[in-house]
Amino acid sequence: MTLRVLVPWQRLVDELTIPGIEPILWHINDDPEDAPPSDVLVTERPSNPQLRSRVSRIKGLKHVHLLSLGYEWVLEHLPEKVSLTNSKGAVEDATAEHCLALILASLRQLSQVGKQQRERNWTRTWTGSLHGSKVVLLGAGGVGNEIRSRLLPFKPAELTTFARTERVHEQGYRIYSLDRLRGFLPTADVVIVALPHTPETEKLIDAEFLSAMKNGALLVNVGRGPIVDTEALLLELLAGRLHAALDVTDPEPLPANHALWSAPNCIITPHMAGDTGQFISLVSELAVNQVIAFAHGEELANQIIN
């Protein structure tokens, strides 16, 4: 029996063209028609939320493998008895690297310096730095851990990690529970969001949270857009009180006429933290291994739903 597998990239078609497997090129974002009947779906997260329901209409579907860490978007569209895996281990490094780039670009005011370059204006600018800063990191999963490891060489004065449950990490540092977070905000220079989107984290970064941050502090979000109350953040940015560096937004994609685009002291990248050549290689290798394992009835890595 041939396993029919929907894949979004030609590279995956080429690598999965092997006996017993029939790869079918179909992209959840780009294809005008719903997917043909298939056993396995390998997919990216749809950029258009309205397309997420296409997963529920795939006849014969038995397994979904996500080319990402985040899986919350697919749960309500997953047919009964369909298993689910993600790409844990392939995404974290790229996301952490992008997070560091956002932090440094914002603290060192590269947007302003770039403007000066275009104007041929040689004016030295005094900036902030990670060295000596107090940093609050929300998230102690794979991405959060990779971000933390990249921050340490920059010698922050303090680096405090928060997650859902309080514990001591295997590397020996303490992770505080999120309900203790507010006491750390008034002195934090940088607050980094690397949390998943759940009912508990929905609009965790609200007006009260933002107002507790000190003047001039930087909010960085590489988690999910809905964790931050966009309107509350926009008010703080327009008042000139806070800075922001966002790889994710709410709504997403951000409409062209949205006020966040032109807000002062705000860097926006279009949910591209994982978009590197190395990520593509890692995530493709994992996807191929998952499909082959599924075809042979073997145990899958990164099982979210069995």
- Catalytic-residue membership of 224: yes
Domains in the chain, CATH or no CATH each: 3-90+276-305 (3.40.50.720), 92-268 (3.40.50.720)
- Catalytic-residue membership of 252: yes
pLDDT in tens, 225-256: 999 999 999 999 999 999 999 999 999 999 99
| Residue 58 Cα distances to 15, 74, 109, 168, 305, angstroms | 23, 13, 47, 43, 18
Q: Which residues contact 257 (CB under 8 A, 6 or more apart)?
A: none
Write down the catalytic residue from 22, 44, 108, 252.
252
Write down the catalytic residue from 15, 224, 236, 243.
224
Q: What is the pLDDT of residue 227?
A: 97
Tell me, what DSSP letter sits at residue 29? T
On the question of pLDDT at 1 being above 90, the answer is no
Omega before 196 within 30 of 0, i.e. cis: no
**What are the tokens at 223?**
């988690």
Q: What is the pLDDT of residue 82?
A: 97
- Catalytic-residue membership of 271: yes
| One-letter amino acid for residue 51 of the chain | L
**What are the tokens at 119?**
């104007």
Angle (deg, nearest 10), helices 92-107 and 277-295:
160
Nearest to 63 by CA among 93, 38, 44: 38
Q: What is the band of 61 on the pLDDT scale with cuts at 50, 70, 90?
A: very high
pLDDT in tens, 174-220: 999 999 999 999 999 999 999 999 999 999 999 999 999 999 999 99
- What distance, in Å, lies between the first and last C-alpha atoms of the chain? 22
Q: What is the band of 281 on the pLDDT scale with cuts at 50, 70, 90?
A: very high
Helix (H, G, I), strand (E, B) or coil at 179: helix
On the question of pLDDT at 49 being above 90, the answer is no
